[in-house]
């Protein structure tokens, strides 16, 4: 398997019982469907309710797993973190540095102290329904 971004061959590494495809050249990581949810301990790969029905912005990057083409989607509605996802096999590609950002977001979503963040996110979603 080759990196969708820099075309270098990726290495398979095992961390926390998950096989991840890691590009040593650009330091991006590929997650097959459901692996992201497993790693973040969230219910879905992308905690963005719009990800189910919204098509992302097409990119020029090929999916490293199938013949799909990656699309850019927000990881979560309110924040500007864009990740690449394949609309066919639903794998997710994280560029270098995005893993840390996803980790911070997941931590906020899982912590009861941060319920306010979840309320704010859901309010935003509801307000969207009335526009």
- Judged by CB under 5 A, which of 1, 15, 66, 120 binds Zn ion? 66
Task: Tell me, letter by letter, the H, E, C secondary structure of the chain.
Answer: CECCCCCCECEEEEECCEEEEECCCCCCEEECCCHHHHHHCCCCCCCCHHHHCCCCEEEEEECCCCCCEEEEEECCCCCCCEEEECCCCCCEEECCCHHHHHHHHHHHHHCHHHHHHHHHHHHHHHHHHHC
CB 37 within 8 A of CB 46: no
- Judged by CB under 5 A, which of 36, 51, 63, 106 binds Zn ion? 63
Task: Check residue 122 for interaction with Zn ion (CB under 5 A).
Answer: no
Output the smallest distance, CB 14 to Zn ion, in A: 19
Smaller CB separation from Zn ion, 1 or 66: 66
Task: Check residue 85 for interaction with Zn ion (CB under 5 A).
Answer: no
- Judged by CB under 5 A, which of 37, 42, 89, 99 binds Zn ion? 89
Output the smallest distance, CB 63 to Zn ion, in A: 3
**Site pattern 23..62 for Zn ion (x: CB under 5 A):** x-xx------------------------------------
User: Residues interacting with Zn ion, by CB under 5 A?
Assistant: 3, 5-6, 8, 23, 25-26, 63, 65-66, 68, 86, 88-89
């Amino acid at each position: 398997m080759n990196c969708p971004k820099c075309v270098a061959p990726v290495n398979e590494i095992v961390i926390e019982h998950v096989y991840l495809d890691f590009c040593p050249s650009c330091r991006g990581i590929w997650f097959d469907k459901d692996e992201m949810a497993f790693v973040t301990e969230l219910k879905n790969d992308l905690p963005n309710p719009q990800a189910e029905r919204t098509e992302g912005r097409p990119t020029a990057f090929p999916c490293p797993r199938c013949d799909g083409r990656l699309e850019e989607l927000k990881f979560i509605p309110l924040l500007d973190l864009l990740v690449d996802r394949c609309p066919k096999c639903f794998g997710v590609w994280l560029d270098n540095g995005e893993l840390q950002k996803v980790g911070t977001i997941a931590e906020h979503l899982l912590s009861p102290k941060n319920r306010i963040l979840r309320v704010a996110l859901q309010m935003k979603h509801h307000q969207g329904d009335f526009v």
